[in-house]
Amino acid sequence: MRIAAGLIFAGAVSLCASGVAWSQTPAPKGAAVPQAAPAPAPAKAACANPNALGIARVVEIDTTGGPGFGFEHFKQLDFLRDHEVVLTFDDGPWPLNTPSVLKTLAEECTTGIFFPIGKHSTYYPEILKQVAAAGHTIGSHTWSHATLTNKKLTEDQRKEEIEKGFSAVKWALGTSPSPFFRFPALQHPPEMVTYLGTRNIAMFSCDLDSFDFKARNAQQVIDVTMKKLDKLGKGIILMHDFHKHTAEALPELMHRLKAGGYKVVKMIPKAPVQTLPQYDDEVLKDTKLPTVSSRPVSSVVQTISE
Ligand SMILES: [Zn+2]
């Protein structure tokens, strides 16, 4: 069961692919605007596939005040045009399946938003680095995928799940991820929605759920997704790079999107997330991870392609 948490305000969506900027909702006056950082370059430079799905446009998100996206819970910021989609992937990074998803997206010269689990990021930082290197947008999906509406959790524990998730992704990447967050199981406790607003972190529900985690095979992932998409005509699609059936379904799903006239929109933040030092420290302490400086270079730097 899912619980709607109401509407989130503020935040701006800017179109930056064409050089034309517009603001859908101005950021509140006087709000702290995180220091702008160079946005990752759109991955559209050299596409070897002439029939690739590609990237139709790039939108930059001002996450001031914690805007919410995805009509299943947040209905204010409707920025997608007809037949536009945003591809999103949860619960990684994970061996085999995440690299398989990356391979398909690279072949289609397109990108998505990845919402990794903090613990998984500490298990497989090298896979998460590959996600970043491929030009995808990376947010967070809590430290341990705890359902934050669970009444047994204190408010501090819920905040810790959120903050340690971002700190773990930062540790794995060696740089701050995007201030983009997705609640596990799309369960939105209102006080954490408010908290994320104070942290200037955007929240992502979805417009359509592929239900890939329930699918019996790859074909079912394709059928469910396309049926919902054809009905809605556009939307933020929720999938899981963690799941084998999703990885298997993705090549055909990309072909179906292209054949159906759908176009991919890439979402990037105006500025990276500002993690909190105490949680950066907790990630190091709790997992007894070595600091980067104490690791041999071979465990830090890997050649992905030459
Ligand atoms: Zn999840």
Residues 141-150: pLDDT tens digits? 999 999 999 9
Q: How far is the CA of 145 from the centre of ligand 1 (A)?
A: 6
* Whole-angstrom distance, CA of residue 172 vs CA of residue 289: 10
Q: How far is the CA of 181 from the centre of ligand 1 (A)?
A: 11
pLDDT at 215: 95
Q: How far is the CA of 115 from the centre of ligand 1 (A)?
A: 8
pLDDT digits (tens, 9 = 90+) for 173-204: 999 999 999 999 999 999 999 999 999 999 99
Looking at this protein, which amino acid is placed at residue 25? Answer: T
Give pTM, 2 decimals. Answer: 0.82
- Tally of CA atoms within 13 A in the half-sphere of 18 that contains its CB: 8
Q: How far is the CA of 113 from the centre of ligand 1 (A)?
A: 13
Q: How far is the CA of 212 from the centre of ligand 1 (A)?
A: 11
Q: How far is the CA of 51 from the centre of ligand 1 (A)?
A: 31
Mean pLDDT of the 152-170 span = 97
| Rg of the chain, C-alpha, whole Å | 18
Torsion of CA 72, 119, 276, 299, to 10 degrees: -130
Which two tokens mark 86?
Answer: 């945003």
> What are φ and ψ of residue 265, in 5° steps?
-105, 130
Q: How far is the CA of 141 from the centre of ligand 1 (A)?
A: 7
pLDDT at 46: 78
pLDDT at 27: 36
> Omega of the bond prior to 93 within 30 degrees of 0, cis?
yes
**Closest residue by Cα to residue 129 from 157, 169, 160, 101:** 169
**Closest residue by Cα to residue 198 from 7, 66, 108:** 66
Q: How far is the CA of 19 from the centre of ligand 1 (A)?
A: 34
pLDDT at 12: 47
Q: How far is the CA of 146 from the centre of ligand 1 (A)?
A: 9
Q: How far is the CA of 50 from the centre of ligand 1 (A)?
A: 34
pLDDT at 14: 57
Q: How far is the CA of 297 from the centre of ligand 1 (A)?
A: 32
pLDDT at 285: 86
DSSP character for 244? H
State the chain's mean pLDDT as an integer: 86
Q: Regarding predicted confidence, which is higher, 75 or 121? A: 121
Q: How far is the CA of 86 from the centre of ligand 1 (A)?
A: 17
Q: How far is the CA of 169 from the centre of ligand 1 (A)?
A: 15
The CA-atom distances, in angstroms, between 213 and each of 196, 201, 210, 232 are 26, 26, 8, 21
pLDDT at 121: 97
Q: How far is the CA of 293 from the centre of ligand 1 (A)?
A: 31
pLDDT digits (tens, 9 = 90+) for 204-263: 999 999 999 999 999 999 999 999 999 999 999 999 999 999 999 999 999 999 999 999
Q: What is the largest CA-CA distance in the chain?
A: 53
pLDDT band at 265 (very low <50, low <70, confident <90, very high): very high
pLDDT band at 277 (very low <50, low <70, confident <90, very high): very high
Q: How far is the CA of 17 from the centre of ligand 1 (A)?
A: 30
* Whole-angstrom distance, CA of residue 142 vs CA of residue 147: 9
Q: Regarding predicted confidence, which is higher, 27 or 80? A: 80
pLDDT at 52: 97
pLDDT digits (tens, 9 = 90+) for 37-81: 444 544 446 789 999 999 999 999 999 999 999 989 998 888 999
Mean pLDDT of the 266-289 span = 91
